[in-house]
Amino acid sequence: MRTNNGKIRNVIISVYFILIVIAIIMATVFSAFKDLTGNATYTFLMLLLGFVGLLFLVHWIAKYFEYDSDGMKVVLINRGLLLTDYLNYREYKVEFEKADLISYKFSNYLVYKSLTLYIKKPSGNTKRANFNVTLVNRKKRKYIRQSLRKMVKANRNKETI
């Protein structure tokens, strides 16, 4: 099974654009916000920190996810959505045999969803791999869960035989 969240790229670009427009509007109508506090510098710093925090939150959550379990190997890729064609600095890729999957876990936090895989290494140790699946829709996460469940079940049946 192959799936990804490539269609979400335009949404993230729109969110960045809206954040930049809000920053420009806040800079031009800054005098309207001076009523929040008595000190204009404090108000400016408060708005600036809020905006920078929101920008970093969007940057942290906005990741491309690809899952491919066709064939004998499973390939999972996480990479940034912006500038990936020119500068691929946030890529995380894991490739493993289906027989090496021990277990998996989906975690759902307030604004972040993750997939944790536990993979058997050739040395006998266990490797833990985390992937950001926040922007993968529910239906695709369900298909990924079914595929992983099927692999884990097949691996457990091999161990008992």
Q: What DSSP letter does each residue of 44-104 carry, written as one string?
A: HHHHHHHHHHHHHHHHHH-EEEEEE--SSEEEEEEEESSSTTT---S-EEEEEEGGGEEEE
For the purposes of burial, counting CB atoms within 10 Å of the CB of 156, is it exposed (0-12), middle (13-18) or buried (19 or more)?
exposed
More confident residue, 10 or 151: 151
Q: Is 143 strand, coil or helix? A: helix
16: DSSP letter: H
The pTM for the full model equals: 0.81
The predicted pLDDT at position 147 comes to 95
Residue 120 confidence class, pLDDT cut points 50, 70, 90: very high
Look at 86 and 135; give whichever has higher pLDDT.
135
Using the structure block, give the residue that is written with the tokens 């020119």: 86
Structure tokens at 109: 């936090």
> Between residues 157 and 47, which one has the greater pLDDT?
157
No. of H helices and E strands in the chain? 3, 7
The stretch 77-101 carries a mean pLDDT of: 82
Residue 81: predicted pLDDT: 77
* Architecture of the structural domain at 1-161: Roll (2.30)
12-51 tens-digit pLDDT: 888 888 988 888 887 777 666 666 666 767 777 877 888 8
Q: What is the mean pLDDT of residues 69-92?
A: 81
How is the chain split into domains, by residue range? 1-161
Cα 94–Cα 96–Cα 102 angle in degrees, nearest 5: 105
Burial status of residue 50 (CB atoms within 10 A of its CB: 0-12, 13-18, 19 or more):
exposed
Tokens 């916000």 belong to 33
Structure-model confidence comparison of residues 3 and 41, the more confident one = 3
Q: Please, what is the end-to-end C-alpha distance for the chain in angstroms? A: 27
What value does the mean pLDDT take over residues 108-112? 91
